[in-house]
A and B are shown apart, each in its own frame.
Chain A
């Protein structure tokens, strides 16, 4: 994308009908470290890569519990993500105070999307620079949504966002058909494998990734490091043989990966993302 005269303001359209500021916000999401989500009929797993800035610092928190039945993983400007998850928590608390029942996930993502849209239509605001993978369980089943800075939201069987997420997406596309009936543990395993794909050769350790699960009879919680390490060890031995072969065809070839898994999630060069 090039710098041009239509990108100073979010309230300025380009002649091609694009809002560049919003697209730049989506770029910010792509710069953040990877986050992935996948779901079965009864469980949803969120995972993310934790990259600390230096050895001296701790890593940023990218997975937030919103309520017992909803959790969110973010990629992009983590500060924006923190603020949005505080908003989501508030909404959940207010809803369950008034209606004595958990807030349906679909409603929450719509409210979130509307909040994001407001920032694309005010000259004194800027779009949120964070993409959210909202995982939630309600009466209608298990759901995984992706909320864009543009104010769009999509429901997914499995998705990955952030830097090097294309590798994870390729992996998920190959396997997504089995997810519906996967057991909880298989789902977590698949999540860890997908995370490993984004690391591009680095060894997968529990210290550089975080995994969270929500499901039927299981409130949203982040798995402990030891548990995660055990699962990694369990399949590392098997996975190593599979690993090199599963390495993705490098070029993120435009468009053709838009299989059923991503309901229009992949971006083609030159096409405004908001068209999807």
Chain B
């Protein structure tokens, strides 16, 4: 019980040694040699203290290695998202695993959010930022509805999302998004984003930790020849809705095999003229 805590009273010399190392002492001896006394002070260590007070910053730069910040405002919760556009439908899918580091936080977290009647967004990355982004877009959509008396179209929402992301260009939403829906003519459209709002209308896309595994496979199955080629070919896939859903299931099953952050359950949302339909499929839990 009687643990004598060693008194922390260090002498001046000890304190300087601990903080700055031996460099100040060499410097002081040099000055001594040259017969320069600091400020008329007699005490050895006090002179060093004054010196350090005057030369503190450059001293630190010379003697101490620079320490990096070890706190980050971001975290990656993993997961993958995919969207495929068809002639009159759009399939958006994401897994439901939320992780941090090598751990799983939950097996049942939805990364998909309905933004408007015919517009759905799937996002992977830092889910706190994703949630904030979704709330922001939902509020903006409400304002739009009040002003224009109608729902926002998918291309309009796509532009809004891009602007919202770029607004935070210098402290970005760590959110990798894929937006899917039907445009004003009822054709499927998919928009893919980076974290700061650069976006493009495409026929299919994937984002997230498994995207490097998924994207090449989608390219193999769905890639259309260049849009610059004549005759003009549609970016949207000629596949039927059921085939596209099957493709998505295959793609996620494969991604779950090799990507540790993808798995548990797959949530598939299909938008077509009849509305929005949701289904689930189990994935590997390891």
Contacts and interface: CB of A to CB of B under 8 A. Distances in A.
Q: How large is the interface on B (under 10, 10 to 19, 20 to 34, 35 or more residues)?
A: under 10
A97 B135 contact: yes
A93 B140 CA distance: 9
A97 B143 contact: no
A97 B146 CA distance: 16
Contacts of B142: 89, 93
B127 to A, nearest CB: 16
Contacts of B139: 93-94, 97
Interface residues of A, number: 7
Contacts, number: 12
A65 interface: yes
Contacts of A86: 146
A65 B148 CA distance: 12
Contacts of A94: 139
A93 B139 CA distance: 6
A259 to B, nearest CB: 37
Contacts of A97: 135, 139
Interface string B133-147: 001000100110010
A3 B11 CA distance: 88
A90 B143 CA distance: 8
Interface string A64-90: 010000000000000000000010011
Contacts of A65: 146
Contacts of B146: 65, 86, 89
Contacts of A89: 142-143, 146
Interface in B183-204: none
A228 B168 CA distance: 48
Nearest to B149: A65
Most central of B135, B139, B143, B146 by chain A CB within 10 Å = B146
Nearest to A96: B139
Nearest to B132: A97
B114 to A, nearest CB: 15
B135 A93 contact: no
B137 to A, nearest CB: 11
Contacts of A93: 139, 142-143
A65 B139 CA distance: 15
A97 B143 CA distance: 12
B196 to A, nearest CB: 23
B72 to A, nearest CB: 26
A178 to B, nearest CB: 34
Interface string B9-34: 00000000000000000000000000
Contacts of A90: 143
A91 B143 CA distance: 11
Nearest to B146: A89
A34 to B, nearest CB: 24
Given A65-B146, A86-B146, A94-B139, 5 more contacts: A89-B142, A89-B143, A90-B143, A93-B142, A97-B139
7 contacts: A65-B146, A89-B143, A89-B146, A93-B142, A93-B143, A97-B135, A97-B139
